[in-house]
């Protein structure tokens, strides 16, 4: 895989750059006919699900559940119910 991810010593990495790199890697895994690539995608799916909850709680702590809801395109109550713990 040829996606280049900046080293931490390169300074702060913009979110858009990280998103682009992650999407490229996921697309490369999806295009593979290798069962190991499929298993990697399954593991990534679980990690992304867990990470959404962590990120939602971090955004809520730094701002509010209303901010989480706005980013997710849902109500504050739905966001809180889904990601509170």
Q: What is the pLDDT of residues 48-85, one digit of tens each?
A: 999 999 999 999 999 999 999 999 999 999 999 999 98
Per-residue pLDDT, 13: 74
- Tell me the torsion sign for CA atoms 19, 12, 69, 43: positive
Q: Record the pTM.
A: 0.77
Q: Examine the pLDDT at 2 and tell me if it is beyond 60.
A: no
User: Which residues, 6+ apart, have CB-to-CB distance to 52 below 8 Å?
Assistant: 83
User: Using CA atoms, how far apart are residues 24 and 75, in angstroms rounded to an integer?
Assistant: 31
Residue ranges per structural domain of the chain: 14-83
Confidence label for 7 from pLDDT (cuts 50, 70 and 90): low
C-beta atoms surrounding 27 within 10 Å: 11
- Integer Cα distance of 35 and 48 in angstroms: 20
Q: Look over the chain and give the mean of its residue pLDDT values, rounded to a whole number.
A: 91
Cβ atoms 72, 60 nearer than 8 A: no
**Helices 76-83 and 65-72, axial angle in degrees (round to 10):** 100
Q: What was the pLDDT predicted at 29? A: 98
């Amino acid at each position: 895989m040829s996606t280049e991810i900046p080293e931490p010593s390169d300074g702060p990495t913009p979110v858009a750059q990280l998103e682009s790199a992650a999407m490229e890697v996921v697309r490369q895994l999806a295009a593979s006919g290798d069962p190991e690539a499929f298993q990697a995608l399954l593991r990534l799916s679980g990690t992304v699900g867990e990470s959404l909850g962590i990120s939602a709680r971090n955004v809520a702590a730094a701002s509010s559940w209303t901010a989480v809801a706005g980013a997710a395109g849902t109500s504050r109550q739905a966001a809180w119910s889904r990601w509170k713990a």
